[in-house]
Chain A
Amino acid sequence: MNTVYTETLISLRDKLAAHEITATQAVQACLDRIAATEPALHALLAIDADNALAQARALDAQGYDASKALWGVPVTIKDALSTQGLATTAGSAMLAGFVPVYDAFVVQKLKEAGAIILGKNNMDEFAMGSTTEKSAFQVTGNPWDMSRVPGGSSGGSAASVAACQCFASLGSDTGGSIRQPASLCGCVGLKPTYGRVSRYGLIAYGSSLDQVGPLTRTVADCALVLQTIAGYDERDSTSDPRPVDDYMAALGARRDLTGIKLGVPQEFFGEGLSAEVRHACEAALKKAQELGASLVPISMPHTNAAIATYYIIAMAEASSNLARFDGVRYGHRSPAPEQLQDLYVKSRSEGFGEEVQRRIMLGTYVLSSGYYDAYYRKAAQVRRLIRNDYEQALQHCDIICAPASPVTAWKAGSHSQNPLEMYLMDVYTLSLNLAGLPGLSLPVGKGEESGLPVGMQLFGRAFDEATLLAVGHVLEQALPSFGLPAL
């Protein structure tokens, strides 16, 4: 494949700048690619073709503007992010037909930078899932093998990027929802530090965990998108005021990994990790050593408590956040309720899917009188111990390395009857959200058995996305490229 849509974002930007291609041609190439792949892939819940083409023509008429970092670049957005005038459902029947009256901060930033939004990506309902099978509307395929899941909850975003429907997508990550689908689809995905990117306009799931971040085909593309969306926003009280680093400069400044200490936590490479994922990660670590990095064995003793801690906190926060869906101001309303209480109960029961209802009920339970201390407060205490583990580990190394998923992409439908089994699959991603630290998922090879992409995570210090991106970039250049899926 060597066509416009298979370019990297950076290479497309350079061609747009050099007038080798127009914004209209770039958008049309993606729309053609969407038309060819979407009937089988189902990565998009809304396609805004007419508006995208109109914007591209308007940009072409004005001429290339070097001050806009993403001028003419076609992108897609996870359906958890508000897009003014473009349907936003969070993958839920509760929000079928909902059309936001404002843009999320990150969407506004992309538009200001000249990006063109092609459509909205499928996702697990309200981001509660790890396969994108929990969407109320459709099941997204994995571009590498359509019978397999793309991961989740930002599975539509990862599938769109891997299938070259767009040049980048934005996802959200509450417990791995950017990094895990990026890994299963062979993309780069980054969860920024808590507070680095505003969540204004993100439909909330777990507010002390949620972050928005990019999914792209290369680390440099990821750096450019993060540069565009990072920064202070007074409309998100958790938004951090410190200045944003120059990520592209950080990429340019590093040629090898001399002086970099990579921490390898024994708990992340133990029981439960498939042999092929282990081998691909170990090969990447060996390559990092050849590039000058040193490997440091580390221990994160509370890792085995992370899943329980995470799910208690995430479900508690979800039960609170999703209380706003009551059938009054927006969303599904049950027809002909008898009285107000009936309106709430019926609207919520009809609008929410099974997994969302399960998490709301468990979240309500762990916050209820008599159980609050035993579950919610206890989990918050263990959360501090987990963060302490990260802080101590990062005193001995610059970056912590971990697999992104214990296995490569699995067959659709294989875990649908057992929610707990599904929760356990998030073991390598979710503790990072508890700690609030940044993490990059990098494709490091294909599984020797499955032939499917394997991702390795790089965890860093708070607000040190620059080091993650620079190290990821060097490693990416040195590892053999495994190309794009044949779709």
Chain B
Amino acid sequence: MPTQSVSVADVTTMAQLARLDVPEEHKEQLARQFGDILAYMDVLSSIDTSTVEPLYSPVLHKAAPRPDIAVNTRQREAMLHNSPAQNSEYFTVPRIV
């Protein structure tokens, strides 16, 4: 596991990937915090996992398949109700093309 410190440039990349805009003046503090947190995560590197299968979910049963039937559970009006911008038929966004 890498134990590198986190740079301001790394924080910029992480923010871009996460679609977040971090103010320049906060980046140094975040880099320090991320560095501390990731250094702490390094405790895992001392554990031998070479023969261990990853456990991604603790589910103990096989998800039962069910018929793929389309159900109209919600009406358009209700679903558009919480949208910050809509035209009563669709969600609207800034012009793309």
Chain A residues at the B interface, C-beta cutoff of 8 Å: 98-99, 101-102, 194-195, 208, 234, 237-238, 240-242, 302, 304-305, 307-309, 311-312, 319, 323, 326-333, 337-346, 348-349, 352, 357-358, 360-365, 368, 371, 374-375, 377-385, 387, 419-420, 423, 434-436, 462
Contacts and interface: CB of A to CB of B under 8 A. Distances in A.
5 contacts: A208-B58, A238-B57, A332-B84, A380-B54, A381-B55
B94 A380 contact: no
Interface string B79-92: 10111110000010
B37 to A, nearest CB: 5
A340 B52 contact: no
Nearest to B77: A101
Give the secondary structure class of B's interface.
loop
Given A240-B61, A371-B2, A380-B55, A343 B49 contact: no
B70 interface: no
B44 A308 contact: yes
B41 A364 contact: no
B49 A358 contact: no
B47 A237 contact: no
Contacts of A102: 73-74
Closest 10 CB pairs of A and B: A436-B58, A380-B54, A333-B84, A381-B49, A384-B55, A330-B82, A349-B21, A364-B18, A381-B52, A101-B78
A327 B53 contact: no
A195 B66 contact: no
A342 B93 CA distance: 11
A238 B59 contact: yes
A385 B55 CA distance: 9
Contacts of A308: 40-44
Contacts of B96: 339-340
B20 A305 contact: no
B33 A358 contact: yes
Contact of B53 (A195, A242, A341, A384): A384
Nearest to A301: B47
A64 to B, nearest CB: 33
Contacts of A99: 81-82
Interface of B: 1-2, 11, 14-15, 17-22, 30, 33-34, 36-38, 40-45, 47, 49, 52-61, 63-64, 66, 73-74, 78-79, 81-85, 91, 93-96
B61 to A, nearest CB: 5
B63 A238 contact: yes
A339 B43 CA distance: 43
A326 B40 CA distance: 31
B83 A382 contact: no
A311 B42 CA distance: 12
B55 A375 contact: no
Given A194-B58, A241-B64, A361 B36 contact: no
Contact of B94 (A208, A241, A342): A342
Contact of A309 (B22, B42, B44, B91): B44
B40 A420 contact: yes
Contacts of B57: 208, 238
A345 B44 contact: no
A374 B19 contact: no
A328 B59 CA distance: 32
Given A382-B49, A420-B33, A345 B55 contact: no
A435 B18 contact: no
A342 to B, nearest CB: 7
A308 B79 CA distance: 39
Given A99-B82, A384-B52, A420-B33, A379 B94 contact: no
Contacts of A237: 63
Contacts of B41: 308, 311-312, 375
Contacts of A377: 54
Contacts of B43: 304-305, 308
Contact of A240 (B60, B66, B79): B60
A442 B54 CA distance: 32
